[in-house]
Amino acid sequence: MSPKSNPAQAAGNPPPRPNLSVLGQTSRFYRDPIKLLRDTQEECGDVFELEILGMGKWIFFCSPEASHTVFRAAPDTLLAGKAHATFHGAFLGYDALATLDGSRHYERRRMILPALNGRPALRHLPTIHQLAVDTIERMPTDSSFSLLSYAHRLSLEVMVHVVFESKADDTKTVVLELFDDYMKKTMHSPLARLPFLQHDLGGWSPWGKILRLRTHIRQIFLDLVQTRRRHLDPDHPEDLLAQLLVAEHGEGAKLDDESIVDELLTLLFTGHETPASLLTWIFEHMLDNPDIEREMRDEVERVLGDEPIRVEHLRQLPYLDAVVQEGLRIAPIAPLTAARYVEKPFELCGYTIESGRTIAHAFHTQVNRDDIFPDPGPFDPKRFLERDYSLDEWAPFGGGRRLCTGRGLAEIEMTVVLATMLQHLRVRPVKAKRSVERSGIMYVPEGGLELTIERSM
């Protein structure tokens, strides 16, 4: 896809819209949003508007110039927290990093960012490796299974460890089972994608059931927070929960227990959905590209041999890192990213965006531009070995003030899990051709990529 300027572009005009009725836009968006966004870019250019029934009017952008403008907009003009709150605040809470704006977002980010990046994140590498080994041992060798289901469980185990590291294993298991069940019944429900259907019509209505589940899980998490607070050693916070309990913001104030529950639920969700989906997509492309699989295995064998992966190995696996980056580029995990609520009228590439709109990055449209990624269709990790990309060109973790706080941990997790699986597994797909299907708010290979395996442990 080549870059295309918006027709009839003039300052003060609203972005163009496709030659489709609102019903047509809505139908295509819910059926295949990524194709709709790409087709609309071809028709309208790099900034355009869609009107989706149940969601309202959205502005999409898909160029480095637009990304630069949005990621550097004033924090009181484009509100990421307000946009995110619309879609998952009701499930996860409204007082979490993802749903805050302005100074409150800055203070909360300052609390959480250090725990998920750099040395604190690297500290979890041995546990991530062991959890990956345990996951491989649970995989059946006498029948096929969905890789996504095991990847989801593994990524959630990683996040439960990071958040509740000092808790006993039985407590972690209870939290994991409870949260996994809650996600399947909430964020994987159509109600998560359709906020206009979130109406309480009684205890047995779909939304009424979710509200009762929400009350139940919040009470259990609140009990965990209050118990930890009573037995906290403020001088030695062992895990992320303890760090949230001791962290100060503003003029020495601490987070209250309800806010910490919001943060924990949001961290567990955001920290496991994307890594699990991405791992599944990487195996999907690996299976379709034997030369890439061979090069991945050769690098792992050369660097690790039969030894467990360690921190010093990470810099010695450039091809594996490139595979992760290319997976982030090409995998259609989510149709849009970097959503922002337009609080004040906003100029974007010559167009005026009215207040009250929501603006979002059509990420998978931008990364299919051949002026940024030549021959963008094939899965080709070498493109990330041959050049570096700016955040305006390449922003899988968002940009600006809203750059994902968990980026460091996520990249470590992906490399460790991928290397460990390559060491100990040989995989074969059950179906030669696989379509794309929706899993909650994500898009994944059909059936979660059904596999058979041989273990070499």
Q: What is the pLDDT of residues 37-53, one digit of tens each?
A: 999 999 999 999 999 88
What pLDDT, in 10s, does the model give residues 237-285? 778 888 888 887 766 678 899 999 999 999 988 888 889 999 999 999 9
Other residues' Cβ atoms within 10 Å of the Cβ of residue 139? 18
CA distance 263 to 105: 12
pTM: 0.89
Lowest-confidence region among 2-6, 20-24, 172-176: 2-6
Q: Which of 207, 321, 327, 217 is nearest to 269 (CA)?
A: 217
Lowest-confidence region among 8-22, 87-101, 188-202: 188-202
Six token digits for residue 307: 């030894």
**Is residue 190 pLDDT above 80, yes or no?**
no
Look at residue 114 in the predicted model and tell me its pLDDT: 87
**Is residue 211 pLDDT above 70, yes or no?**
yes
Look at residue 143 in the predicted model and tell me its pLDDT: 93
Average pLDDT, the chain: 88
Q: Say what the alpha-carbon torsion angle 290, 291, 297, 302 is, to the nearest 10 degrees.
A: 160
Q: Please, how many CA atoms are within 13 Å of residue 247, restricted to the half-sphere of its CB?
A: 22
What pLDDT, in 10s, does the model give residues 167-186? 777 888 888 888 888 888 87
The more confidently predicted of residues 358 and 337 is: 358
Look at residue 264 in the predicted model and tell me its pLDDT: 92
Look at residue 207 in the predicted model and tell me its pLDDT: 76
446: pLDDT confidence band, cut at 50, 70 and 90? confident
Q: Counting runs of H as helices and runs of E as strands, what totals does the chain give?
A: 19, 14
CA distance 151 to 159: 12
**SS3 at position 426:** strand
